[in-house]
Structure 1
């Protein structure tokens, strides 16, 4: 395997603030979508709780959904080199999701004491 690499350095003469704003706006859109999907996650767990669907299969499905949200947040954060403002709300949204997941997990174990 071969290849070459080049490292370039640039300096912005005019419009640096505009560029930062564009980058942050793109990340903020992604963070906002994570918040929206987090709300969808919370709605789903609420529906399953109301239906008393406290099964291990449902728990696994919800766990996978939460893992996807966490992975998505990590990927966006890795691209967020300029610290967009949407990061905090996305972290808060996932914290709510984790808390609800923990509560649902407890309910599953309570409903299935033999496992």
Structure 2
């Protein structure tokens, strides 16, 4: 059975995130085993993360992209290993917040260089 290169699938995943359409990201992620693995790899490389009540922003180096909640559950399991800049832009109401898994993973890795917390 023919398959695409992992590098090509990774690049496609990055480009889809850059387009900023959360629905397309979800459809691509769920379109097959290879695309799911590619999106896991893409999200595992995120270095910049901003968390808001209704969306989040992810990025690599100087490029950042906004995604909405439909992808939240998938990304909470994958993001966190490489995050070095974390912004929290909402009030956290306790340990059961929807972003708690990401926050715990970032803190556990202890790789963070910058941390910002804002109460909007």
- TM-score (normalised: structure 1): 0.29
Structure with higher RCO (Cα < 8 A, 6+ apart): 1
- TM-score (normalised: structure 2): 0.28
Give 1 or 2: higher helix fraction: 1
Give 1 or 2: higher strand fraction: 2
